[in-house]
Amino acid sequence: MKFEAVSEYTKIAGRTLFRDGVRFLGYSGTSVSFRFCGKKAAAHIISDIEHYETFQRAWAAVFIDDGKEPYKRFEISSAEADYILFESDAPKEVTVTLMKYTEPEYAPLGVVWLETDSEALLPPPERKQRKIQIVGDSITCGYGVEGSLEELVHRTCTENPRKSYSLLTAAELDAEVEIVAWNGKGVITEYIGDDRETVEDGWLVPMLYEYTDAGCERDYFHAPESDWEKWDHNSFEPDLVLVNLGTNDASYTREIPERNEEFRKGYFSFLKRIHMLHPASAILCMAGTMDGRLCETIDIAVKEFLEGFPGVRAACLSLPPQKEEEGFGTFWHPTEVTQRRTAEVVVAKAREMMGW
State the pLDDT at residue 194: 86
In this structure, are 97 and 208 located in the same domain? no
Q: What is the pLDDT of residues 55-86, one digit of tens each?
A: 999 999 999 999 999 999 999 999 999 999 99
Domains in the chain, number? 2
* 121 within domain boundaries: no
Is 124 contained in some domain? no
The verdict on residue 123 lying in a domain is: no
Strands 130-136 and 240-244: parallel
Nearest of 353, 244, 347 to residue 295 by alpha carbon: 244
Domain end: 83, 116, 149, which one? 116
3-state secondary structure the chain: CEECCCCCCCEEECCEEEECCEEEECCCCCEEEEEEEEEEEEEEEECCHHHCCHHHCCEEEEEECCCCCCCEEEECCCCEEEEEEEEEEEEEEEEEEEEECCCCCCCCEEEEEEEECCCCCECCCCCCCEEEEEEECHHHHCCCCCCCCCCCCCCHHHCCHHHCHHHHHHHHCCEEEEEEECCCCCCCCCCCCCCCCCCCCCCCHHHHCCECCHHHHHHCCCCCHHHCCECCHHHCCCCEEEEECCCCCHHHHCCCHHHHHHHHHHHHHHHHHHHHHCCCCEEEEEECCCCCCCHHHHHHHHHHHHHHCCCCCEEEEECCCCCHHHCCCHHHCCCHHHHHHHHHHHHHHHHHHHCC
Taking 90 as the threshold, does the pLDDT of residue 150 lie above it? Answer: yes
**Same structural domain, 284 and 188:** yes
Say whether both 136 and 96 belong to one domain.
no
CATH of the domain at 23: 2.60.120.260
Based on the fold, state whether residues 16 and 77 are members of the same structural domain. Answer: yes
For residues 313 and 199, state if they share a domain. Answer: yes
Question: 54 with 85, same domain?
Answer: yes
User: Is residue 134 domain-resident?
Assistant: yes
Domain that holds residue 190: 130-354
In this predicted model, what pLDDT tens digit does every residue of 227-275 receive, in sequence order? 999 999 999 999 999 999 999 999 999 999 999 999 999 999 999 999 9
81 and 155 belong to one structural domain? no
Q: Which one of 116, 151, 182 terminates a domain?
A: 116
The predicted structure's pLDDT at residue 195: 87
What is the predicted pLDDT for the residue at 80?
98
Based on the fold, state whether residues 83 and 153 are members of the same structural domain. no
Q: Are residues 192 and 104 in the same domain?
A: no
Q: How far apart are the first and last CA of the chain?
A: 40
Mean pLDDT (whole number) for 166-176: 98
Residue 240 in any domain: the answer is: yes
| pLDDT tens by residue, 93-137 | 999 999 999 999 999 999 999 999 999 999 999 999 999 999 999
CATH of the domain at 322: 3.40.50.1110
> 92 lies in a domain?
yes
Asked if 333 and 214 sit in the same domain, the reply is: yes
pLDDT tens for 189-233 read: 999 988 899 999 999 999 999 999 999 999 999 999 999 999 999
Q: Is residue 33 included in any domain, yes or no?
A: yes
Among the candidates 70, 89, 116, a domain finishes at 116
The string of pLDDT tens digits covering residues 15-30 is 999 999 999 999 999 9
Q: Does residue 271 contact residue 277 with C-beta atoms inside 8 Å?
A: no
- Are residues 138 and 42 part of one domain? no
The rounded Cα 205 to chain-centroid distance in angstroms is 12
Q: 163 and 296 in one domain?
A: yes
| 282-336 confidence digits (pLDDT tens) | 999 999 999 999 999 999 999 999 999 999 999 999 999 999 999 999 999 999 9
In angstroms, rounded to a whole number, what is the distance separating the alpha carbons of residues 64 and 41?
11
330 part of a folded domain: yes
